[in-house]
A and B are shown apart, each in its own frame.
Chain A
Amino acid sequence: MTDLTDLGIAGIRDGVRDGSFSARDVADAFIVKVSQAKALNAFLVETPDHAIAAATAADTARAAGETLKPLAGVPIGMKDLFCTKGVTTTAASHILEGFTPTYESTVSQNLWDAGAGMLGKLNMDQFAMGSSNETSAFGNVISPWKRNDANGVGGNAALAPGGSSGGSSSAVAARLCPGATGTDTGGSIRQPAAFTGISGIKPTYGRCSRWGTIAFASSLDQAGPMARDVRDCAILLEAMAGFDAKDGTSLQLDVPKWEAGLSANLNGLRVGIPKEYRVDGMPEEIEALWQKGIEWLKDAGATIVEVSLPHTKYALPAYYIIAPAEASSNLARYDGVRYGIRDLPAGSGLQDMYAATRADGFGPEVKRRVMIGTYVLSAGYYDAYYTQAQKIRTLIARDFEKAWETCDVLLTPTAPSAAFALGEKSADPIAMYLNDVFTVPSSLAGLPAMSVPGGLDKQGLPLGLQIIGKPLDEQGVLNAGLAIEQRAGFTARPEAWW
């Protein structure tokens, strides 16, 4: 009998629909996998009842001959940044420990309405700030992958699953769930997907509602799916996305039928290769994979053209002004008054309560970013930092607009390295920030972008390729991703050590 947990979303959905197996059996199989994988620390909270209830509903509907919902029978993991009614939601921060929302985020509600079930809330970098899932208040997430020279040079180091959606990437790669939600502000879906050999897409800004999604950087945050192939990402994204009147930045557009529109025939497609993404000291393996990606896309019918995005190198510093600035304001509400923890040292007044609660509740990276954000908005610095960064953001967006004159999608590596060991980069914040060098520009421009696995490095760790598309062209991005997926033949999977 097939190991049901080897199936992806499409496989489960179709199998439940045609009666090959019951939704309940699927749910049970994944619930077991989740409960056996505590060593990964991917899940903060397990919710088997939720998954079982959804599965039961699917099976009942099927037995009654009803048309099944789009995700009937599919259990998923939910990043702990989405408010889930009656289930604790912490953003992996001590400051929200115990917080149990009385409301459901729009994105998660969309998924439940589509028939999906929840296996649990996934660990992540605290308040989505991080690229390695090392800033969670509830412990690191460990990648299911290990370097293949475990007995030799590489050691048996615990590896980072990427961040901030590290619990999501780890869980999907380890087959604890067929798919998971993530969020991406500067690369937090794409980079972890690349590190763990799975696929993930950040849609156009405004595609997914941000209502009920704990805010980090409002003009950048986007929810998106993470799964093991392009088709599954398309299926999940269709269910997650859609206009929400409660979100003023939500796009008032119908959700395209991305799954039905999938095609790996890229005849007529022009693929741009941005020369500024060829950075100094880029590992040769990544450059080599990039080349392979170019060949694959040519093979699928695309033409290749070199383009220039001149302001690329300013994207990271601009991001590290804008995102912390917005975050410093978005996180002001965590003050111990209405929810979360409250620290009240003896004799303290209101302002002392704020200061003590936030000092205790926020982790070091969160504090760092809140302080940077406060600084760049403060009197005397606003124009030099914040305004300048927003102007550069305009220039970066214009770079892309200009590129679209000669190409339809862009191909780049997703990350400047394979997964590193936990602890390896946490000494220097800037070294950690540099992980996002390829993903941040498209975030600043609000463009859809995805990562698909391209191959393994010589230590057996996954490497990802990124496709960036025009605004609202998720289809173009998915299709190019599919073309790569079909030619890359990526079948590697982490061997269970947990």
Chain B
Amino acid sequence: MSDYRIQGETGEWEVVIGLEVHAQVTSNAKLFSGAATAFGAEPNTQVSLVDAAMPGMLPVPNRECIRQAVRTGMAIDAQINKWSRFDRKNYFYADLPQGYQISQLYHPIVGEGAIDISLDEKNPDAAGKRIGVERIHVEQDAGKLMHDQHPTQSYVDLNRSGVALMEIVSKPDLASPAETGAYLRKLRSILRYVGSCDGNMEEGSMRADVNVSVRKPGDELGTRTETKNVNSVRFVMAVVEQEARRQVEVLEAGGKIVQETRLYDPDRNETRSMRSKEDAHDYRYFPDPDLLPLVLDDAFLEECRASLPELPDAKRARYEALGITAYQATVLTAEVEAARWFDALLDAGVKPAAAANWTTSELFGALNRTGKDISNSPVSPAQAAELLGLIADGTLSGSLAKQVFEVMLETGDGAAKVVEDRGLKQTSDTGAIEKVIAEVMAANSDKVADYRGGKDKLFGFFVGQTMKAMGGKANPAVVNEVLKTALGESVAP
């Protein structure tokens, strides 16, 4: 049970949220035609006669789009329906050339599944919650209308018309903006792991319709509104909060919630009603007579399952079993590109704990500082493995390694080369260290006496002086050993 509540004048209100996420399927060609799906092309250049709904045109489904939907369903442990149908959703709009959208209402390809979220992603010990998924179905995306290019006309670009979408419908199990954000992030991560959608909300390849209703605890479900086409996680969370508050205000003032479609205005941080037509919602769904029922055979399903990568939850569990902390495991598996990078590092033989420590602090720190992300990381897993190998074999101390890493970032050179070029090797030469320590002690005989007389905190001073005299290259463990011997005991009188 979530304890998120809206504080109203008449008491506390619970919020009930369901998300319908439209995710563009990663495929070369569209769902029902051979036109390309790539983003950003010149208007109407990725449009076939089929997408333009010319007279006499017919749809033939793209196997890869079907495959991606099945793989996504498998990744959320959903029921895969071996028999499903396409239905036509009929309405008139300029971005819908056929006058209907081919979708799946009555018999979707994927049935019930679930997505596990953490209720506090920063706290690895936080409780989790299972959010039900009602269904996933496949449908056509619409084209794009532009309203700001001309004073009296809108322009229609059908490049996006007919691109495959997966509509992923959650159950109304979400109860707060935070849960909603966590669900959306987790879903996006899964889609990127599976490779069925790039989850790029800014480019519109993933968008959410947010259904919100409110009720007093214990009451029946309230009337919900739907805010369409929200294109960032932050905005989705804002919509939940704004719309819930708006509904509470309306209800407490004695009004009723109208079941309607709304749009989010990010500049004003509020939702507003879309102009609606009286009969806008009678879509007259019926099975598309141009498309026979879709039947999936076992061989197809087996290939889909075999093609799935290790998914985030499983990967996180595996990392933890390898001795990586829960928090680091969460960070490393949040995005598939980072997880893949890290897997390559493990494959190169680096010990898991050391790899995790270094990656989450040094690498991610450097990426943050330089504004890069893991997909254009200046350091490859192989290069990182080389660096970490030099620490493991004693060539570099931790602090030397940091220096080497900085140079690697600047120059793009490998660790060994940097060490070689700049002579940054750590010295473990006991003889050399003893010599330097002797010199330091000789130059600070008063402190030696103080130390021996009980001021044991001066040990750090001698370590520092030794390291300084050796340009930071002394092996700290050896320095400690030799110093202990040379200084002797520190005994208070």
> What residues of chain A have their CB less than 8 Å away from a CB belonging to chain B?
82-83, 89, 91, 96, 99, 101-103, 105, 210-215, 217-219, 245-249, 325-326, 328-329, 331-333, 335, 337-339, 350-351, 354, 374, 377-379, 382, 386
Identify which of B57, B284, B289, B291 contacts A378 (C-beta below 8 A). Answer: B284
Cβ B289 vs Cβ A326 within 8 A: yes
- Residue pair B292, A377 in contact (C-beta under 8 Å): no
Partner of A214 from the list B56, B289, B291 (CB cut-off 8 Å) is: B56
Q: How far is the CB of B280 from chain A (nearest CB, A)?
A: 10
Determine the residue in chain B with the shortest Cβ distance to A380: B282
Instruction: Please name 15 pairs of A and B residues whose Cβ atoms are closer than 8 Å in the assembled complex, sorted by A.
Output: A101-B54, A103-B49, A212-B57, A213-B56, A215-B56, A218-B289, A247-B60, A249-B290, A325-B286, A329-B99, A329-B284, A332-B98, A333-B53, A339-B55, A350-B154
The closest CB in chain A to the CB of B287 belongs to A390
Which of A212, A248, A337, A374 contacts B291 (CB under 8 A)? A248
Q: Is the CB of B88 within 8 A of A329?
A: yes
> Is the beta-carbon distance between B90 and A329 smaller than 8 angstroms?
yes
In B355-378, the 8 Å CB interface with A consists of none
Residues in B neighbouring A96, C-beta threshold 8 A: 55
CB contacts (< 8 Å) of A219 on chain B: these are: 289
Considering the complex, give the chain A residue whose CB is closest to the CB of B32: A248
Query: Chain B 273-285, CB within 8 Å of chain A: the 1/0 string?
Result: 0000100001011
With contact pairs A332-B100, A335-B99 given, residues A354 and B92 touching in the complex (Cβ less than 8 Å):
yes
Measured CA separation A280–B133 after assembly (Å): 57
C-alpha gap A92/B234 in the complex (Å): 54
Majority SS at the chain A contact face: loop
B156 within 8 A of A: yes
Give A375 Cβ to nearest chain B Cβ, in Å: 9
Q: How far is the CB of B24 from chain A (nearest CB, A)?
A: 23
CA–CA, A296 and B99, complex, Å: 51
Q: What does the 1/0 interface line of B153-182 toward A look like (CB < 8 Å)? A: 010100000000000000000000000000
A338 to B282 alpha-carbon distance, docked (Å): 25
> With the chains together, A326 CA to B88 CA distance in Å?
10
A433 CA / B98 CA spacing, docked (Å): 28
Complexed CA–CA distance, A214 and B289 (Å): 14
Query: Chain B residues with Cβ under 8 A from A378's Cβ?
Result: 282, 284
Known contacts A245-B60, A248-B60, A248-B292; decide if A83 and B55 are in contact (CB<8 Å): yes
B108 at the interface (CB under 8 A from A): no
B322 interfacial contact with A, CB 8 Å: no
Pair A377/B286 contact, Cβ less than 8 Å: yes
Of A101, A215, A249, A350, which contacts B94 at CB under 8 A? A350
| Given A247-B60, A325-B286, 14 more pairs with CB closer than 8 A | A83-B55, A89-B55, A91-B55, A101-B55, A105-B56, A211-B56, A247-B58, A249-B292, A329-B88, A332-B98, A333-B98, A338-B52, A338-B53, A382-B286
Residue of B nearest to A374 (CB): B284
Across-interface contacts of A377 in B (CB, < 8 A): 90, 284-286
Interface size for chain B: under 10, 10 to 19, 20 to 34, or 35 or more residues? 20 to 34
**For the complex of A and B, 9 pairs with smallest distance between CB atoms:** A332-B99, A377-B284, A218-B289, A219-B289, A212-B56, A333-B53, A214-B55, A379-B282, A248-B60
On chain B, the residues within 8 Å of A374 by CB distance are: 284
List of A residues within 8 angstroms of B156 by Cβ: 337
- A246 engages B92 (CB within 8 Å): no
Q: How far is the CA of A170 from the CA of B290 in the complex (A)?
A: 31
Q: Of A247, A335, A339, A350, which contacts B54 at CB under 8 A?
A: A339
Give the distance to chain B from A329, nearest Cβ to Cβ, in Å: 5
Chain B residue numbers with a CB within 8 Å of A210 are 56, 58
Q: Is B476 an interface residue (CB 8 A)?
A: no
Do the beta carbons of B286 and A83 come within 8 Å of each other?
no
| A213, chain B: closest CB distance, angstroms | 5
Q: Quick check: is B398 within 8 A (CB to CB) of the other chain?
A: no
Q: Are A351 and B277 in contact, with the CB atoms below 8 A?
A: yes
Q: What chain B residues lie within 8 Å of A328 (beta carbons)?
A: 90, 284
B97 at the interface (CB under 8 A from A): yes
B58 near A211 with CB under 8 A, answer yes
A382 to B54, CA, bound (A): 28
Q: Which residue of A lies closest to B49 (CB)?
A: A103
A246 touches B53 (CB 8 A): no
Contacts of B100 in A (CB 8 A): 329, 332
Chain A CB within 10 A, most for which of B55, B57, B59:
B55
> Please, what's the 1-or-0 string for B58-75, where 1 marks a CB less than 8 Å from any CB in chain A?
111100000000000000
Candidates B99, B277, B282; contact of A333 at CB < 8 Å: B99
Question: A217: which B residues are within 8 A, CB to CB?
Answer: 289
- Taken together as a complex, chains A and B put the C-alpha atoms of A210 and B57 apart, in Å, by 8
User: With a CB–CB cut-off of 8 A, which chain A residues contact B291?
Assistant: 248
Asked if B92 contacts A248 (CB within 8 A), the reply is no
Q: How far is the CA of A481 from the CA of B97 in the complex (A)?
A: 43
Is the CB–CB distance between B286 and A329 below 8 Å? Answer: yes
- Chain A: minimal CB distance from B378 (Å): 48
Bound together, the chains give a CA A217 to CA B56 distance in angstroms of 11
Residues of A within 8 A of B58 (CB): 210-211, 246-249
A residues less than 8 Å from B57 (CB atoms): 211-212
Which B residues touch A326, using CB under 8 A?
Answer: 289
Q: How far is the CA of A249 from the CA of B55 in the complex (A)?
A: 17
Which residues on the B side are within 8 Å of A218 (C-beta)?
A: 289-290
Whole-angstrom CA separation of A339 from B97 in the bound complex:
11
- Which of chain A's residues have a CB closer than 8 A to the CB of B154? 350
Cβ–Cβ < 8 Å partners of B60 in chain A = 245-248
**Are B90's CB and A103's CB within 8 A?**
no
Complex CA gap A99/B53 in Å reads 14
* Chain A residues within 8 Å of B277, by CB: 351
CB distance from B468 to the nearest CB of A (A): 77
Complex-state Cα separation, A173 to B289, whole angstroms: 34
- Please, which residues of chain A bring their CB within 8 A of the CB of B53? 333, 338
Contacts of A329 in B (CB 8 A): 88, 90, 99-100, 284, 286
CB pair B55–A248 under 8 Å, yes or no, is no
Roughly how many angstroms separate A476 CA and B161 CA in the complex, as a whole number? Answer: 45
Residues of chain A within 8 A (CB-CB) of B290 are 215, 218, 248-249
Q: Is the CB of A338 within 8 A of B97?
A: yes
In the complex, chain B residues whose CB is within 8 Å of the CB of A337: 94, 97, 156
Q: For residue A212, which residues in chain B have a CB less than 8 angstroms away from its CB?
A: 56-57
B106 → chain A closest CB, angstroms: 11
Give the docked Cα–Cα distance between A326 and B57 (Å). Answer: 15
Task: State A212–B88 Cα separation when bound (angstroms).
Answer: 20
With both chains docked as a complex, state the minimum distance between the C-beta of A339 and any C-beta of chain B, in angstroms.
7
Tell whether, in the assembled complex, residue A335 and residue B284 are in contact, meaning their CB atoms are under 8 Å apart: no
Residues of B within 8 A of A105 (CB): 56
A83 touches B99 (CB 8 A): no
The CA-CA distance from A332 to B92 in the complex, in Å, is 8
Interface centre among B56, B90, B100 (most CB of A within 10 A): B56
248-285 of chain B: CB within 8 A of chain A: 277, 282, 284-285
Which residue, of A103, A337, A351, has the highest number of chain B Cβ atoms within 10 A?
Answer: A337
Complex Cα distance, B57 from A4, in Å, reads 38
Closest to A213 in B: B56
Using Cβ atoms and an 8 Å threshold, which residues of chain A touch B56?
A: 82-83, 101, 105, 210-215
Q: Let me know if A248 and B286 touch, CB within 8 A.
A: no
- Are B88 and A351 touching (Cβ within 8 A)? no
Q: Which residue of A lies closest to B158 (CB)?
A: A338
Q: In chain B, residues 6-62, which have Cβ atoms closer than 8 Å to a Cβ of chain A?
A: 49, 52-61
Q: From B99, which residue of chain A is reached at the shortest CB distance?
A: A332
Q: Is the CB of A351 within 8 A of B289?
A: no
Which residue of chain A is the closest to B59 with respect to CB atoms? A248
B284 touches A382 (CB 8 A): yes
User: Shortest beta-carbon distance, A250 to chain B, in Å?
Assistant: 9
With both beta carbons as reference points, the residue of chain B lying nearest to A218 in the complex is identified as B289
